[in-house]
Amino acid sequence: MNIRTITAAIFLAAFVSTPVYAVAPVSDATINGSSNSSGNNASNAELLKRINELSRIMTIRNKMQVRFQSRLDDLGQEINEIKGSIEVFENQLNQIENRQRTLFQMLDERQQAPRAQSPLSVAPSEIEDLGANSAKAAYQAAVDLVLSDKQYKQAITAFEAFVIDHSSSAYVPNAQYWLGQLLYKEKKRSEARTAFLVVTEKYPESDKRADSLFKIGVIDEYSGSASSAKSFYRKAISEYPNSSAAGLAAKRLKGL
């Protein structure tokens, strides 16, 4: 065998003796495990972040609910106070009406039919008495519509007619006050205020002036004119300190 042939045989033998399949690469378990752990840690961190955010939102919502409930409680208290004030006002109104009724029962006499006389035989003083009796009867009829018949709308008309037909009567201030009461009852607050204002400005000596000042204050308060309401409450207190109207005005003034 020549040298070339021997060299080829050696090369062939070396090739055949080498394994056909190469050894498969070995994976690094440590590296793979580290990768999975990092992914889990990231997921856990994201989950904790979401839980913390939800916890924060729940805390804020709970605080808001507590705040809203506190405000609702305050509003409920304010409503109860307003209801109490209305009840006091209505009670005072009933007391005034009862006092008015008692006063008329004590002071008013039954209307007696005037004696038929010739106009020429009637003295001037008797004519004045007839006019006074007529005014008294008209006034009493209007009052009876309120106290006895409970015909409030008809009573308004009767008192309005009275102050026109008997403008010089001593009963006019009381008639104006009755008008204010009745108009307020019919929820005509602006007209009621005008009626009360006539009493306070035109009839300063009237025993209804203190109550009229207080009622104007109440109307102004409900109308949202707090400064005007305070002014009338203070007038009632300063000018009539011992009156029931002054006591009620002082209570209302504290609430403003």
Is residue 117 over pLDDT 90? no
**Per-residue pLDDT, 100:** 55
The answer to whether 214 touches 245, Cβ cutoff 8 Å, is: yes
d(CA 172, CA 191): 17
pTM of the model: 0.51
* 104 to 10, 140, 147, 206: CA distances (angstroms): 151, 8, 11, 16
Tokens of 11: 């090369």
* pLDDT class of 94 with cuts at 50, 70, 90: low
Q: Which domains are assigned to the chain?
A: 92-103+130-254 (1.25.40.10)
Is residue 243 over pLDDT 50? yes
The answer to whether 198 touches 174, Cβ cutoff 8 Å, is: no
**Per-residue pLDDT, 256:** 83
Overall average pLDDT of the 166-195 stretch: 93
d(CA 232, CA 239): 10
